[in-house]
Structure 1
Amino acid sequence: MAEADPRIDESETTAATEKGTPEGSDTKQEKRRKRKKLVLMILMPLLILAGIGWYWLSLQGKVSTDNAYVKQDSVSITAEITGPIAEVFVKEGDQVKAGDPLFRIDPEPYRIALEDANAALAEAQANVTALASDADLSGTDISAAREDIAFAQSRFERQQALWERGFTTKADYDAARHSVQQARESLKAAQARQSEARARLAQGAAAPGRNPRIAAAEARKAKAELDLRRTSITAPLSGQVAQAARLQVGQMALTGLPMLEIVGQESTYVEANFKETQLDELQPGQPVRIGFDAYPGLELKGHVVSIGAGTGSEFSVLPAQNASGNWVKVTQRVPVRIAIDEDSPRKLIAGQSVEVTVRTED
């Protein structure tokens, strides 16, 4: 046994040594890496296709856009009369209720105008009273003129009889005839004065039951009272004061010039501009999820209220004119109004960017 073949022992030793060398282990690891690469090469396209399929399925029954903004009804407050601002009751960012005073224009010139209108009305009333008691209106001059005609006619007839007998002169005869003519002219003048007096007291069809002079004076007074009331400007709706830079004491308020804005807080909604290719499935009443760029994680419920009657470009100040040789078709956007169905825990500001998703399957 001790003299065994040394060649056999050396071969066994060599084989055992080769099995335990690092070169053998590297070969196995390389094979494993190749298998992993092969698996990854097969799985990656499958995973990508699965992700695309999942994303496509998730989009079914939904229409979304990030071209959407928070809208709030606002009113531009302008002065209806001209004058310097005497008092200011609000400032930028204040919350006001409908009917709250905003600012006041100096009322003194308009108070003086009201007093002048009252004086004009009193004068018109006095004139009407005087006209009602005018002698021309009573008809006394007409009666006197008729009596004068009768007397002149009788005298003329006597002079005519004497003239025919030759017992009077030509001068007396002509004087009697002239007296008759003068009496008739006096009657016509008295009748004209009576008609003129009645005309001054007449009532026109546009203001039945009132004298025109009194009606004009009353209208002037009403205008003065209206202007005086307009010196105090109040809020037409509840909301927040904005753009109040011009609201300073001493600033001249001009008719039609905006002095401030009131943004209504109770009329918040979303205006989303969808592509015209997305309108096929949109209908009023569909539920909407609203996300806010300013408040990550905040999501509110809403619903579609209405779809716009025209595209944004159609109602722009300068509508696009496509009758040109280099015309390029552009997908148009249509505004869709979305109501917010729940109260927001965060303040919503007009103009905020939002992302809306409409569930068209519902």
Structure 2
Amino acid sequence: MNAVSKLKDEVTEVEADTLSPPVTAAPLAQPAPARKRRKGRLFLMSALPLALVVGGGYVWVTGGRYQETENANLRQAKVSIASQEAGRVVSVNVADNQMVKVGDTLFVVDPEPYRIALAQADAALAAARLNVEQLRAAYSQALAQERVTAGDVTYLQSQYDRASALVKRGINSESTLDEARRDLTKAQDQHTAAVQGIASARAALAGNPAIETDEHPTVLAALATRDNAAYALAQTTVRAPADGMVAQASSFKVGQFVGVGTPLFSLVETDDIWVDANFKETQLTNMKPGQTAEITLDTYPNHPLKATIEAIGAGTGAEFSLLPAQNATGNWVKVTQRIPVRLKVDTSGLDVALRTGMSATVSVDTGVSRGLPGLLSSAVAADNVK
């Protein structure tokens, strides 16, 4: 029994020696690296917030120079095309979305009635010129009549003087003197009428007997009427006022009757391009006309455009709305307003097609950053609040 027990004890010791790992002194030196890792974690935990604070402060101090908004649209001038003369359209030379050049014929209104009116005006002008020549002849006739009546007055005056002398001598009777007096008076009246005839003829010639025919008032009026008729005839051909693209002309056809001034379709001027950007009122602190900007269209994100501020709007959009907001109530809530800013686009070297109404993102370089004084003033303000 003792031998068996002894054998079991030996087997147990061998198994214990086999299963148990050998004990070394190395694990006793591991607490030191654990302390180093804790120091590294502490450094990282403190360095990350510090870096965020420093980076955020730098961004804030150096920021504010570029003011950006996505509330912007590309604009092109739109001209409403209308006829200055009423009539039926006999020719249409454009189609919807067609490009045209300045001076190109867009459409033609029936010119025949206006040609007739021009012919009538030409006839009236010729009649006015003829009338002036007749007035000039009447003036010459009045001058001749005045000379004749002046001669009659001279002759009858001498006859009257001779009859008067003979009556004083008792040679002629008083009746002979009365007859001579009557003839003289009649001649004097005729001379007076002839003088008035000259004045009337001179007045008919605008007070200047030597006036040129085309300078006479009646001829000038006839010329104006004729020019007006010629202008009306010319306006029956409607031409493009500028380079651009025709829009909303799909229903404009030959045979349509057009009235004076009625809008028929539109012409979008492709050479007159600008951007209307609506900035928040808080973004306009350092914004001025003449500052440069960069415009990125949503259609062409890889083609930034250069622009310059032309003008800053006269008021907010709410001021010019149909029903302006009334803030004189007890439930008033302050809302940041937006003010339109107009920017002139530099289209030199542009190789993309621009269309009015395109959405854009505008970034304006104001040239003014917040800077360290702004940061300090903010800190002082915060201390005062506390």
Is TM-score (shorter-chain normalized) higher than 0.5?
yes
User: Which of 92, 105, 119 is the aligned partner of 2:96?
Assistant: 92
**Deviation of the 1:254 alpha carbon:** 2.5
Aligned AA for 1:179? D
Aligned AA for 1:275? K
SS in 2 for 1:81: coil
Please state if 1:247 is matched with 2:252: yes
Residue identity (%) = 32
SS in 2 for 1:69: strand
Q: Aligned partners of 1:176 and 1:226: how far apart in 2?
A: 65
Q: Evaluate the alpha carbon distance shift between residue 338 and residue 154 of structure 1 in structure 2; reply closer, same or farther with a 3 A threshold.
A: closer
1:1-362 paired onto structure 2 within 5 Å: 1-4=6-9, 53=56, 60-134=64-138, 136-137=140-141, 139-164=143-168, 168-202=172-206, 210-245=215-250, 247-284=252-289, 286-295=291-300, 297-313=301-317, 316=320, 318=322, 320=324, 324-325=328-329, 329-330=334-335, 331-340=337-346, 346-361=352-367
**Deviation of the 1:269 alpha carbon:** 2.8
Q: Aligned partners of 1:300 and 1:133: how far apart in 2?
A: 78
SS in 2 for 1:256: coil
Deviations 1:211-241 (A, max 9, x none): 2222222222111111111111111211100
**Deviation of the 1:320 alpha carbon:** 4.1
Q: CA RMSD in A?
A: 3.9
Q: Aligned partners of 1:232 and 1:8: how far apart in 2?
A: 122
The total of aligned residue pairs comes to: 333
Q: Evaluate the alpha carbon distance shift between residue 6 and residue 54 of structure 1 in structure 2; reply closer, same or farther with a 3 A threshold.
A: farther
**Deviation of the 1:359 alpha carbon:** 3.9
Aligned AA for 2:356? A
**Deviation of the 1:262 alpha carbon:** 1.4
TM-score by length of structure 2 reads 0.72
Deviations 1:262-303 (A, max 9, x none): 1122333322111121012334555534333345x4341323
TM-score by length of structure 1 reads 0.76
Q: Is the 8 A contact 1:300 1:342 kept in 2?
A: no
Q: Aligned partners of 2:285 and 2:277: how far apart in 1?
A: 15
**Deviation of the 1:137 alpha carbon:** 4.1
SS in 2 for 1:87: strand
Q: Is the 8 A contact 1:272 1:338 kept in 2?
A: no
Between 191-200 and 276-285, report the one with greater CA deviation: 276-285
Q: Evaluate the alpha carbon distance shift between residue 329 and residue 83 of structure 1 in structure 2; reply closer, same or farther with a 3 A threshold.
A: farther
**Deviation of the 1:257 alpha carbon:** 2.1
Deviations 1:169-204 (A, max 9, x none): 554333221111111000011111111112222368
**Deviation of the 1:156 alpha carbon:** 2.5
User: Which sections of structure 2, spanning at least 5 residues, go unmatched?
Assistant: 1-5, 21-40, 369-386
Q: Aligned partners of 2:173 and 2:318: how far apart in 1?
A: 100
**Deviation of the 1:321 alpha carbon:** 7.6
SS in 1 for 2:106: strand
Q: Aligned partners of 1:325 and 1:218: how far apart in 2?
A: 66
Q: Aligned partners of 1:263 and 1:92: how far apart in 2?
A: 11
Deviations 1:313-350 (A, max 9, x none): 38737584868456665424232315245656543210
Q: Is the 8 A contact 1:137 1:197 kept in 2?
A: no
